[in-house]
């Protein structure tokens, strides 16, 4: 059965009291095509719907139109840096509680602090993180936001 520590989806109960997996939807804002394709493949295996934006400008209309359960955000983007984008996002009450996980090559303490201060739930360093950890961190962020 499901081990909650390894669960890659949100578990909910239906009227028959049977557990079923509910797919989550993650917006990936990342300009590294190789990483995007890798995440899409692994997320699909984990029953996670992905929507991709290669920059902040592409992400804004997606956020307005699509149901998004969490955001996976790079800092170094071609148009606007991820920290600035996150600060603006958090000003909008509609997205104030959207789970956001930063994934970046920038791993200095100051970088991590800026990301968390801007409103990220977690900050992952690309070189130190695998796809299973990303899924785990995203799920924890979603659960934390659901609980309060």
pLDDT tens readout for residues 113-137: 999 999 999 999 999 999 999 999 9
The model's pTM is 0.84
pLDDT tens readout for residues 33-44: 999 999 999 999
> What was the pLDDT predicted at 19?
34
The 3-class SS string of 51-73 reads: EEECCHHHHHHHHHHCCCCEEEE
Across the chain, mean pLDDT equals 87
- Which tokens go with 1? 């059965």
Q: Per-residue pLDDT averaged across 47-61, rounded?
A: 96
Q: Among the listed ranges 13-17, 105-109, 110-114, which one has the minimum average pLDDT value?
A: 13-17
- Which tokens go with 91? 């000003």
Based on C-alpha coordinates, what's the Rg of the chain? 15
pLDDT tens readout for residues 63-96: 999 999 999 999 999 999 999 999 999 999 999 9
DSSP for 68-110 reads -SEEEE-SS-SSS-HHHHHHHHHHSGGGTT--EEEEES--SHH
Percentage of the chain exceeding pLDDT 90? 82
- Name residues whose C-beta falls within 8 Å of residue 56's C-beta, 6 or more positions apart in sequence: 29, 77, 79, 80, 82, 84, 85
């Amino acid at each position: 059965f499901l081990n909650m520590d390894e669960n890659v989806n949100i578990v909910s109960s239906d009227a028959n009291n049977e557990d079923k997996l509910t797919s989550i939807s993650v917006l990936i804002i990342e300009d590294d095509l190789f990483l995007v394709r890798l995440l899409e493949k692994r997320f699909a295996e984990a029953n996670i719907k992905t929507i991709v934006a290669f920059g902040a400008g592409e992400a804004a209309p997606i956020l307005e139109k699509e149901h998004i359960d969490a955001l996976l955000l790079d800092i170094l983007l071609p148009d606007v840096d991820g920290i600035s984008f996150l600060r603006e996002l958090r000003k909008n009450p509609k997205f104030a509680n959207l789970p956001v996980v930063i994934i970046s090559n920038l791993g200095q303490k100051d970088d991590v602090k800026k990301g968390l201060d801007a409103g990220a739930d977690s900050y992952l360093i690309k070189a130190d993180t695998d796809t299973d950890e990303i899924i785990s961190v995203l799920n924890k962020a979603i659960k934390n936001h659901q609980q309060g």
